[in-house]
Amino acid sequence: MKRVLFFSLFILSGLYTWAQPVMKVSATEHDFGKFREEAGKQTYDFVVMNTGDQPLVIQNIVASCGCTTPEWTKSPIPPKGTGKITAIYDPANRPGPFNKTLSVYTNSKPQVTVLVIKGEVIPREKTVEELFTFPVGPVRFESNHLAFTNVKKTEKKTRVMQVINTGKEPAKIEFDNIPAHLSLKANPETLKPGQKGLVEGVYDGTKNQTWGNVSDLVKVKINGVVQDKVYYYVSANLVEDFSNLSKEELANAPVFKVASTTVDLGKIPGSSTRDVEFTFTNEGKSDLIIRHIKSSCGCTAVQKDNQGVGIKPGQSSSIKATFNSGGYKGKVTKAIYVYTNDPKKPETVLMLTADVEQATAEK
């Protein structure tokens, strides 16, 4: 009797173990092939079959990218029944090959099934407005920002940008309020209607006495008229030229070592000032020179007594600043940028933080 009971329980246990949903998909990968961006969203249906003995539930689907949207059968799929998973790919502003995944979570084994969609988007032809985003009267520039990125203090660097005349009359392009370290001109200077040209910029690092990230706002003139409230933004990161240093010179270079790069002033009242001091040591083998010091905000006044002064190997000094809390409220963080002739770390960022408490107005 016990053997019969044990055998019956074994069979029931086996039936319970094997009674489960089983998901089969018509394909685990789909290739959309090549299609044009303007064709819009691409859709493909993966057919889902439940070959098990219990209802199959697609619990969730997670796409690897916001460009892919999944839709699926929300109701339980009965045994021998079918459902579908729809993958929708949006090619807008996504030219080139793509390979995306859909992670499908179900109540079957395995719990997660990964589906793949791929293809290649042929980019659409962009409009003039998209290619030339900065309009100045009848003329459009590619951008309002001409970025020179890193410019060595010993070099002149050239950058160009396309420009087009979208007007019906010739347009002469000139620039006004140009600093001495910058040269800007249009080539050709006068563009015929529909004609493209170049803005040619030359940045002379030897003529700018500052260091680090710098910018200039330049006015644009069209046919001799300065365009009101329109500025052409020019930026550069002025850095020291260490490219000609020998291995021996690098080994014997100065080393700018700061005891701590952050000072926390704690809680301070508004409209008050606090002094901060950053101690540093020259741990190198030759004189350390502080090239330039600047703060991220006019609220932080930096003493520049050490600027341009040689600091001997092993010698220590400090950088002092005064922070004015003014009308700030709550957590405040300000930066001080220090530029040195340390070839391994020519720029160091010092941070000061404070928790500013403004007095409450009396009722």
Domain assignment of residue 166, given as a range:
128-239
What amino acid is encoded at 60 in this protein?
A: N
Burial-class residue 134 by CB neighbours within 10 Å (0-12, 13-18, 19+). middle
What confidence score (pLDDT) does residue 208 get? 94
Residue 105's nearest CA partner among 156, 62, 167, 137 is 62
Same domain for 320 and 221? no
Same domain membership, residue 157 and residue 187 = yes
Residue 363 lies in a domain: no
pLDDT at 102: 96
Q: What is the mean pLDDT of residues 263-292?
A: 94
Task: Please state which of the ranges 10-24, 181-195, 269-283 shows the lowest mean pLDDT.
Answer: 10-24
177 and 278 fall within a common domain: no
CA atoms within 13 A on the CB side of 304: 15
Do 141 and 201 lie in one domain? The reply is yes
Q: Look up tokens 């270079």; give the residue.
A: 253
Residue 146 has pLDDT above 50, yes or no: yes
Same domain, 106 and 154: no
Distance from chain centroid for Cα 134: 21
Residue 288 lies in a domain: yes
| Amino acid in position 318 | S
Phi-psi domain of 305 (left: phi exceeds 0; alpha: psi -120 through 50; beta: other):
alpha
Instruction: Give domain status of residue 10, yes or no.
Output: no
Give the residue from 290, 280, 344, 357 showing the smallest Cα distance to 314: 280
For residue 281, being part of any structural domain is answered with: yes
Structural domains counted in the chain: 3
Residue found by looking up tokens 């002379």 in the block: 204
Give the torsion sign (CA, 23, 29, 35, 41).
Answer: positive
Contact 353, 333 (CB under 8 A): yes
Asked, as a colleague might, if the bond just before 110 is cis with ω within 30 of 0, I would say: yes
Mean pLDDT of 207-222: 94
Is 80 part of any domain?
A: yes
Of 122, 153, 185, the one marking the end of a domain is: 122
Residue environment code for 276-310, b if the CB has 16+ CB neighbours within 10 A, otherwise e: bebebbbebeeebbbbbbbbeeebbebeeebeeee
Same domain, 160 and 97: no
- Tens digit of pLDDT for each residue in 278-299? 999 999 999 999 999 999 888 9
Examine the domain organization and report whether 117 and 177 are in the same domain.
no
Q: Do 233 and 141 fall into the same domain?
A: yes
The CATH number of whichever domain residue 235 belongs to comes to 2.60.40.10
Where does a domain end: 91, 122, 153? 122
Dist CA 315 CA 283 (whole Å): 8
Whole-number Å distance between alpha carbons of 159 and 146: 7
**Do residue 228 and residue 294 come from a single domain?**
no
Does the structure show a pLDDT above 90 at 218?
yes
What six digits make up the tokens of 253?
A: 């270079």
Q: Give the per-residue pLDDT at 359.
A: 80
Mean pLDDT, the chain, integer: 92
Nearest-CA neighbor of 206 among 177, 181, 184, 243?
181
71 and 108 in one domain?
yes
- Residue 133 and residue 174 in one domain: yes
- Whether residues 156 and 218 fall in one domain: yes
pLDDT band at 360 (very low <50, low <70, confident <90, very high): confident
Residue 261 lies in a domain: yes
Task: Give the separation between CA 105 and CA 102, rounded to whole angstroms.
Answer: 10
Q: Give 19-57 pLDDT, tens digit per residue.
A: 899 999 999 999 999 999 999 999 999 999 999 999 999
DSSP 194: T
Tell me if 273 is assigned to some domain.
Answer: yes
Strand partners, 52: none
| pLDDT higher than 50, residue 2 | no
- Give the separation between CA 301 and CA 296, rounded to whole angstroms: 10
The CA distance from 320 to 273, in Å, is 13
Nearest to 116 by CA among 132, 107, 104, 133: 104
Residue 11 domain flag? no
Where does a domain end: 122, 146, 168? 122
